[in-house]
Structure 1
Amino acid sequence: MGLSRVPRFIPRRPSLERFRRQLASVDAMPQLCLLGILAGILTGTVMVVFRLLLEFGALFFIPGDNPEAFETLSPAFRAALPLVAVTLIGIWLWPQPSRALKMGIGHVIERLAYHQGKMPLRNWINQWWVGVISVIGGLSAGREGPAIHLGSAASSWIGSRLRLPHNSLRVLVACGTAAGISASFNTPIAGVIFAMEVVMMEYTIAGFLPVILAATMGALVSWAVYGAEPAFSVPPLQLNSLLDLPWIVLTALVVGMLAGGFVRLSRGHPAIVRIPFALRLAIIGLLTGAVAWWYPQVQGIGYDSLEQMLNGPMALDVLLVLAVGKLALTGLCMAGGVPVGVIGPMLVSGAAVGAVMGMIGGTLLPSVVTTPDLYAVLGMAAMMGAALQAPLAALLALLELTRNSAIMLPGMLAVVVAVLTARQLCRCQGFFLSSLNQQGLHPLQQPLMQALSRVAVPAVMERNLVRTPRVIDHDRAKALLDSKPTWLVIIQEGKDKPPLAMKAAHLARVLHDDAWLAEHEQIDLEEVPGQRLDLAPVHLEATLSEAYDTLNESGLDALYVEHTTAPMIRKISGIITREAIENYYRRKR
């Protein structure tokens, strides 16, 4: 008696083409999570390299190799540094077109909303130069905006290099954003919420999981080089008395007003825009240098000053300059066309406003303001929430930076009051949205287009089709139907004529009509009774929102999906109709 052969399980070999098809679906969470891990590692590495470049630049002129130690320089030298910085930035950017000058988080949001997350290489290179020069050159600038742009573009490059569907590029950009914030502050949770609240402007499970993994990996890469401590240390604080709450509300009102003023200043008044670019740069350099002559604390990111005011007393005049002067200089840089990072300076100025209010309250109303040291921490979170209109990201940054849940209650009150003040009294839509709206861009999409942007064309298109010339004989017609296609794609004569689509059932019907066949020795598919659809092309990597836009722009009801199989060779992969897109949306609601 012979042994029966047991069939072996042979796993399917990995295929990049299959991976792309899986990513086209909204439910491709395992694949997106893998991309999130890759994006987090790459972004964390980019962030470490960026910080190393800052430290390397400080080697040449700042004692102690600390890019924040401008106080150790002579007044004349530190006042001259901003002029050198704007000169280097101007020489680099002057010959380039205006589209190449867009950088930072606002640029990331624009590319995500209008260009499927594809990031130009020239802008990415410019961000390295401007990001490094602005910080070590003594301008009031942060490193988080450049980090997010650099990380998001690097993550998007993964998808572009692998020719992944555009819906996965959106997730990769969010992963780069979260990992950039996470690696910069060592705050992975705040990075996740910042990416979803400020950049993606939506919350979905499929989006959250890869973004969480990216933030985790970004933090781990940063920890491996710089340790697990936050960007600056915060002493243990708590609210000792409810009597502080009215003063906290007043502090948040002041912070909200300053945040709204900062956003308005950063937009740039038309009178500023009309000034020649070189003169604008000179004004920025001169004003920054003039303030830095007496108050070097306004230069760079300011985390050293932030740590000092959180852990001990600081002179009132220095606090006032940091509260108003640093915020104004940062806004002036943005208004003048120098795209510096703004999150770090926001935190420093917010903390300074809170420290001033805590000092005033502790002096005038000692029985009411019982914890004046707490106000600097609350001001920091309130400024971030109000200027960005991102309350959740600000609160989670507060929690992770302080590692102290005891201050969350007053923190929530301060952030909400500051956000409402900036939004209602100052008509502030948020720093990044305001800058985009000023350019006539509106990245807040309609719910339909948001839902369709999460899915790529391959998830919905009909693949069961055959290509055919317009005129065929009876045998060729029967052969076409042997594979039981759903659609016939009719290739018309002439390169300028788009193909037509016809249901294969219409051809099958006439092949069973002997009288019709007797009258037609050759079958002209344009004469076959039935509906034919004019087609326009859409790329295989496109999202359903791109396909829907193409349908609306062309006035058609169907598209043929094409992709490049070899240089100059395009293949039709499927048919997608307006009805299929709308049915998909209704089914997934």
Structure 2
Amino acid sequence: MPRTSWQLCLLAIIGGLISAFLIVLFIGAINTIQRLLLVDLDHYTSLSELSRFLLPIFGAMMLLVIAWITGYKYVRTGIPFVLHRLKVAYGVIPLRNTINQFFGGIVALASGFSVGKEGPAVHLGAACSGYLGSKLNLPSNATRTLSACGVAAGIAACFNTPIAAVIFVMEVILREYKVHMFIPIMLAAIVGSMVTSTVFGPAHEFEFFSNIALDYEHYPWVVVLGATLGALASIFNRYLVELLRKVQHIHIVKRFLIAGLITGIIGFAIPHAMGTDLSAINYIMGNDSHVLMLVALLIAKCALTITAIGLGIPGGIIGPILGIGAVAGAVTAGVMGVDGLNNQMTSDFALMGMAGFMAATLNAPLAALLAVVELSNQLDIIVPAMLVISASCLCSGQFFRNRSIFIMQLNMQKLAYRKPPLEDSLHRIGVLGAMKTNISVFDAQLADKAIETMIEQDDFLIMYKDGEYYWNEITGNQHQTKRFRQHKLTAISSKDTLAEAYWAVNEQRCGAVYIYDKLPDNIVGIITFEQIRSYLLEGKIS
């Protein structure tokens, strides 16, 4: 039943621990490779021009080897794929996709592609916790909740932002707020953040930003920045989806090699556009950053991100869009000319740009707000960040009809990510929480006297005949002769939800399904159409 339980909370903690340790291993591998190749993390300017050109091409070749080993049909990874699997498989993700995501994500992030680590974190977290629920033979609705817990743990372990992780799961992944899910998801996020803090230290990723110093006189510029970011997010999303549409029939070998070549060419000329976000942000924080150079960096960063994600490189999009937003904010600070292009103004507007661009691109205002607050470890940015987010989301949605990039990707790829409201409601209740267990199973040859005894016990009579099971519905009351109405029963696993039971009896609008545990002949209960109808009309199981 959709209620908070200590058992599910305990499993959320266990799943969160497993997910967090896998994310730590993932991030540790990336950091180790980058420190071997670069002076510091995401510091691609330390490489020679030729090395910057060749590194992404070599990375693309490595990605193709990994894809060949796991199988080309298992290359789907990242947040859109998790959204799809949550709807069609309750969050259970194939192992080969997960292997591809783990090793492919390491290679992509270490070789300079403009992708983020949060995409792999979401995928790996969902896979770990979903696998745990599947192996424990949990009901499907509980497995879905556990998978969402793994996502929260993965995000929290990736960025050390537990609050933003919880809101991200509710707003972007599940796209619903339900109290019975909130506690286990929150516990998983806490565990993920604790593991990260223990291994990598308690610092947040963007604590190096100066304390916010925006005044009311700057708020009109904040609104202008928000509107600009909304327009930019719309352009960014549309070009990305258009690229996805045009290359979907091109073989993966060509796509990866083209991505490596374009990344190498742009990285050769503008090395700060390579990597996730730190390289671009470190550049804009320099006092000698010129507006024209910032515009060039903004265009290059957008081009590299659209190329990498659009051509299928296994990485996330949130890290790069934070970098794009920061650069866009710095450009606005330069255009303002308030007190010159000083470091303080650049820092403030870079943070505002990160919040506004993430909110408009993902259509997730609350997740963007809390992410930037936690990443910068500054509460003072809440009011101006809310202003820039409001402006960017309004402009993006109202004037450009923009939607979440994840939803646009799923629509273009024709992958299911939502179901009718009726089915969504039924998915929240497992058949184990609704079935009737007062059943009597008898052979068709059973004497009438034994049947009368079962009737007196008020049991549900299930008859076995010719390899099939039938429910003998009793009609009539104590003043009438009792009669039987026979319905053929459909088998439903004990892991299923009311949605599967509903679709089994919906066409006849009557009858029932029987629930079995592990083997079809091990009948443990029955659910009638009238029970489901009662829930849909009255909100309770009769």
* TM-score normalised over the length of structure 1: 0.85
2:14 partner amino acid: L
Change in Cα spacing, 1:457 to 1:267, as seen in structure 2 (3 Å) is same
Give the 5 Å matches for 1:358-369: 358-362=333-337
Q: Check conservation: 1:167, 1:454, Cα contact below 8 A.
A: yes
Structure 1, gaps ≥5 residues long: 1-24, 514-527
Letter in 2 for 1:487: F
Is the contact between residue 492 and residue 501 of structure 2 (CA under 8 Å) also seen in structure 1? yes
Q: Does 1:292 align with 2:267?
A: yes
Structure 1 residue 196: deviation in Å? 0.4
Tell me which amino acid in the other structure corresponds to 2:8: L
Query: Using a 3 Å threshold, how does the CA distance of structure 1 residues 572 and 443 change in structure 2: closer, same or farther?
Result: same
**In the TM superposition, what whole-angstrom CA distance separates every residue of 1:472-507 from its partner, at most 9, and x where no partner exists?**
22454356457x2521111111x3xx311124677x
Between Structure 1 and Structure 2, how many residues are aligned? 538
- Distance, in Å, in 1 between the alignment partners of 2:217 and 2:505 is 61
Q: In structure 1, which of residues 535, 549, 564 is the aligned counterpart of residue 489 of structure 2?
A: 535
Residues 310 and 152 (structure 1), Cα distance of their counterparts in 2 relative to 1, 3 Å cut? farther
Give the stretch that moved more between structures: 334-343 or 472-481.
472-481
Instruction: List per-residue Cα deviations over 1:45-72 (Å, max 9, x = no partner).
Output: 111010111123335x5144x4422221
Q: Residues 381 and 26 (structure 1 numbering): CA distance in 2 closer, same or farther, change over 3 Å? A: same
2-structure distance, mates of 1:210, 1:398: 24
Q: Is 2:460 the partner of 1:487?
A: yes
Counterparts of residues 59-458 of structure 1 (less than 5 Å): 61-64=36-39, 66-94=40-68, 99-269=73-243, 270-307=245-282, 309-310=284-285, 314-362=289-337, 371-458=345-432
Q: CA deviation at 1:275?
A: 3.7
Counterpart residue number, 2:12: 36
C-alpha contact (below 8 Å) 2:444/2:463 kept by paired residues: yes
CA distance in 1, matches of 2:398, 2:416: 20
1:423, distance to aligned residue in structure 2 (A): 2.2
Asked if structure 1 preserves the Cα contact closer than 8 Å seen for 2:473 and 2:487, the reply is no
- The alpha-carbon deviation at position 74 of structure 1 amounts to 1.0
Superposed CA offset, 1:88-120 (max 9, x none): 212332576664121101111101112122111
Q: Which residue of 2 aligns with 1:501?
A: 471
Shift of 1:319: 2.7
Maintained 8 Å contact 1:561/1:574: yes
CA distance in 2, matches of 1:543, 1:458: 8
Q: Does 1:550 align with 2:504?
A: yes
Q: 1:554 to 1:136 in 2, by over 3 A?
A: farther
For each residue in 1:293-334, what CA deviation from the matched residue of structure 2 results, as whole angstroms up to 9, or x when unmatched?
Answer: 122222221324325535755344553244222122111222
Q: Check whether the contact 1:266–1:333 (CA below 8 A) recurs between aligned residues.
A: no
Structure 2: segments with no counterpart, 5+ residues: none
Deviation string for 1:5-36 (max 9, x for gaps)?
Answer: xxxxxxxxxxxxxxxxxxxx112432222122
Q: Does the residue aligned with 2:517 lie in a helix, a strand or coil? A: strand
- Mapped partners of 2:185, 2:323: distance in 1: 27
- Decide whether aligned partners of structure 1 residues 409 and 28 sit closer, same or farther in structure 2, where only a CA change above 3 A counts: closer
Summarize deviations over 1:446-470 as a string: whole Å, max 9, x none. Answer: 3332222221111111111011112
Distance in 2 (alpha carbons) for counterparts of 1:102 and 1:267: 16
How far apart are the structure 2 equivalents of 1:33 and 1:312? Answer: 49
Q: Which moved more, 1:339-348 or 1:231-240?
A: 231-240
What's the counterpart of residue 562 of structure 1?
516
Question: Which protein is bigger by CA-based radius of gyration?
Answer: 1
Distance 2:239 2:70 in 1: 25
Q: CA deviation at 1:42?
A: 1.4
Report deviation, 1:440: 2.6
**CA 1:583–1:574 in structure 2 vs 1: closer, same or farther (change >3 Å)?**
same
What is the DSSP-based 3-state SS (H/G/I as helix, E as strand, rest coil) of the residue aligned with 1:198? helix
**How far apart, CA to CA, are the structure 2 residues paired with 1:586 and 1:310?**
59
**1:533–1:557: 8 Å Cα contact kept in structure 2?**
yes
> Normalization by structure 2: what TM-score?
0.92
2:24 maps to 1:48: yes
Cα distance in structure 2, aligned partners of 1:306 and 1:488:
70
Q: Classify the secondary structure of the residue corresponding to 2:483.
A: coil
Q: Percent identity?
A: 32
- Structure 1 487/200 Cα, relative in aligned 2: closer, same or farther at 3 Å? same
1:12 maps to which residue?
none
Instruction: Tell me the SS of whatever aligns to 1:472.
Output: coil
What RMSD in Å do the two structures reach over aligned CA positions?
2.7
TM superposition shift of 1:586: 4.0
